Amino acid sequence: MATLEQFDWAHSFYELGPDFFQAKSPDPVAAPYLIDGNPEAAALIGLDPAEFERPEFVEYFSGNRPLPGAQPLAMDYSGHQFGLYNPRLGDGRGLLLGEVANGSGHTWDVYLKGCGPTRFARGFDGRASLRASIREYLGGEAVHGLGIPTTRSLAIIGIGELVYRETPQPGALLVRLSDSHVRFGSFENFHYTNRPEAVTRLADFILQRHYPELAGEANKYQLLFRTVMQKTARLIAHWQSAGFIHGVMNTDNMTLTGITFDYGPFGFMDRFNPDFTPNQTDGHGRYAFGRQAEIGHWNLAKLGETLTHLITPEIITEELEQYQPAFNRFYNELMGQKLGLEILDSEFTTLVGKLFHILYENQVDYTLFFRNLSAFPGEVPASLRQGFNNPKDLDSWLDMYRKLIEREDPDLNERKATMNQVNPRFILRNYLLERAIDKAMKQADFSEVERLRILLQDPYNDRPEIFSRYGIDPELYAAETPESHVEMRLSCSA
C-alpha cells in the first residue's frame, strides 16, 4: 500500500510530445475539503485508504500543492457532438496527472476534473459543479457494480467557491481513474487538421499501451480497429441489457478501450421505453436508449475515417460490417443470462422481442421485472404481476417462457441464484441520485453519497451487516421510482 508520495508514476502520454497537449498545473482553489473518498478505487492504484484522512490528500488533489511525480497536461481533441463536427474541444477543465501502475501491473490514468481553465476552455470557467461531480462519481460506481467497463473515481473534493451554471452552486473537483483518456475525438482532431503522422503516432501509442499483443502484427491497424469495434459493441450490449442510457454519446466521450466514459445526463431506465433519453438537451432523441447500438456504429465509422491512410476504406467497411453481428452476439448472450436461458435460437429471439413489447405496453419497471423473474417457474410472485395493466399479456408470455426453460431442464435453485447475480436489485435511479445531491448541496450532508456508493458497489445482494452500519433500508432503495420522478430528464449543464 503506497502513500501519495510513493506512487510509481509513468508519463507515456506526455512522451508523445507537445503537439498532443498543453502542459499546465491545476489552478489553486479556496478552502478545499474532502467530500467522499472511495477505498475500492484507492485499491486499484495501490493507495492506502488511510491517505484520504491526511490533509495533504486534499491539498494535492485540489491543485493547492503540487503532487510529487505528477506531470499535469490538458489533452487536445475534437469530436462530433450530436452529429456535427466541433473542431475545438480538448480538456477545457481537466488535467491528466499521469499514469499509476498498481502491484498487479494494470495502469490507470489519474485525472483531475474541474481544476481551472486550460487553453481549450473556450471561455468556460474550467470548474465542475458539486452536482455533476457527484453524478459522475456515483455513476461510475453503479456501472462498475453491474460489471460494465467504466471509469472510476477516487474522490470528490469540495471547494469553497461557487460555480455559475443555470444558478450559482457549490463547486468541486473529481479525481477520475480511467484505463485511457484517448477518445475517438483525439484521432479526429489530428485527422481533420491534416496531420496523418500524428494519427499514426496515436494509434501506435494505443497499441503499445493497451493492445501490445497486436503491436507486432503486420495488419496491426486493422486489428486495432477491429478490437475497438468489438469492445464498443460489447460495451453497448452491456448498456442495453442493464437499461443504461449514456445520454451524450458524442465521439469525444468514447475511448479506444471501450469503457463507459464521461457521465453527464445519464440514467437507468425506469419503465421500459426505447425512446427515452434522460438528456433534456437531446430534443430529437439521437442518444435515446433504443438508438445507442446504432450510434456506436456511427461513431466507429467516424473513427474509421481517421485511419484511411493506414487501412483502406474497403477494409474499414468490411470491419464495420461485423459490428452489428458482434453486437447481436454479445447482446443475446447477456439477455440469455438475464432470462436464465442458454439456447439462444430464433425462439429465444422471439421471446425477447415479445417481452419488450409487453413491458412497453404495460409500462413495467425494467429492473424489477427481471429481478422478480428468478422465482419463476415456481409460484409466480405477486411482485411480478405488479405493474401489468393487462395480466393476460404476462400469462401468455410466461407460457412461452416456461417452454424454453423446460427444454433446457436446469437445476432451478442454481438457476435462481445465478439469475440473481445478473439481475440487480438496486440501480442508481435518478431520483435517488438527486436526493443525495440535494442533501449535499443544501445541507452539506454527504452521508447519502457514501450510502449510495456502498450500496451500488454490490447491487445484487442484501448485506444486512453493512446495511445496518450505514443506515441503508434495502426496501427503500430497491423500490420502483415514484410516479412523480419517472423518466427524469436533466440538462447537460445543470
CA–CA distance, 80 with 295 (Å, rounded to integer): 11
Candidate list 29, 89, 172, 173; residue touching ligand AMP; CB under 6 A: 89
Out of Mg ion, ligand AMP, none, which partner does residue 126 contact, by CB within 5 to 8 A per kind? ligand AMP
CA–CA distance, 25 with 463 (Å, rounded to integer): 43
The 10 Å CB-count burial string (b at 16+, else e) for 107-130 is bbbbbbbbbbbbebbeeebbbbbb
CA–CA distance, 152 with 39 (Å, rounded to integer): 11
**Interacting stretch for ligand AMP, rule CB under 6 A, among 56-64, 84-92, 281-289, 435-443?**
84-92
Residue type, 69: G
Binding-site size for ligand AMP (CB under 6 A) equals: 16
Residue 124 or 317 having the CB closest to ligand AMP: 124
Q: Which residues pair with 490 in a beta bridge?
A: 279
Q: Where does 63-126 have alpha helices with state H?
A: none
Least CB distance to ligand AMP at residue 204 (A): 25
Least CB distance to Mg ion at residue 279 (A): 13
Residue 129 or 253 having the CB closest to Mg ion: 253
Candidate list 91, 188, 319, 448; residue touching ligand AMP; CB under 6 A: 91
Q: Where does 363-390 have alpha helices with state H?
A: 366-373, 382-385
Helix (H, G, I), strand (E, B) or coil at 73: strand
CA–CA distance, 43 with 41 (Å, rounded to integer): 5
To the query of whether residue 252 is one of the catalytic residues in this protein, the response is yes
Least CB distance to ligand AMP at residue 139 (A): 13
Residue 72 or 264 having the CB closest to Mg ion: 264
With contact defined as beta carbons under 8 Å apart, do 130 and 232 qualify? Answer: no
Residue 90 or 243 having the CB closest to Mg ion: 90
For residues 198 to 237, the per-residue mask of contacts with ligand AMP, x marking binding by CB under 6 A and - elsewhere, is: ----------------------------------------
CA–CA distance, 485 with 494 (Å, rounded to integer): 17
- Nearest-CB residue for Mg ion: 262
Residue 43 or 492 having the CB closest to Mg ion: 492
Query: E strands of 143-243, at which residues?
Result: 152-164, 168-178
For residues 215 to 254, the per-residue mask of contacts with Mg ion, x marking binding by CB under 5 A and - elsewhere, is: -------------------------------------xx-
Alpha carbon 106 to its chain centroid, in Å, reads: 19
Out of Mg ion, ligand AMP, none, which partner does residue 162 contact, by CB within 5 to 8 A per kind? none
For residues 115 to 144, the per-residue mask of contacts with ligand AMP, x marking binding by CB under 6 A and - elsewhere, is: --x--xx--xxxx-----------------
Q: Does 90 bind ligand AMP (CB under 6 A)?
A: yes
Q: Which residues pair with 381 in a beta bridge?
A: none
Out of ligand AMP, Mg ion, none, which partner does residue 92 contact, by CB within 5 to 8 A per kind? ligand AMP
Q: Cell digits for 439?
A: 442533501
Out of 36, 91, 179, 252, the active site residue is 252
Place of cell 438475464: 338
Candidate list 99, 179, 262, 319; residue touching ligand AMP; CB under 6 A: 262
For residues 240 to 259, the per-residue mask of contacts with ligand AMP, x marking binding by CB under 6 A and - elsewhere, is: ------------xx------
Q: Cell digits for 78?
A: 475534437
Q: Does 188 bind ligand AMP (CB under 6 A)?
A: no
User: What is the full DSSP assignment across 248-294?
Assistant: ---GGG-BTT--B---SS-EE-SB--TT--SBTT-TT-TT-GGGHHH
With contact defined as beta carbons under 8 Å apart, do 136 and 153 qualify? Answer: yes
Q: Does 262 bind Mg ion (CB under 5 A)?
A: yes
Q: Cell digits for 76?
A: 487536445
Least CB distance to Mg ion at residue 149 (A): 17
CA angle 309–315–320, rounded 5-degree value: 110
Residue 63 or 459 having the CB closest to ligand AMP: 63
H/E run at residue 84: strand 84-86
Least CB distance to ligand AMP at residue 154 (A): 18
Binding-site size for Mg ion (CB under 5 A) equals: 3
Residue 115 or 427 having the CB closest to Mg ion: 115
CA–CA distance, 385 with 195 (Å, rounded to integer): 59
| Residues designated catalytic | 252
The footprint of Mg ion (CB under 5 A) covers 252-253, 262
The footprint of ligand AMP (CB under 6 A) covers 89-93, 117, 120-121, 124-127, 252-253, 262, 264
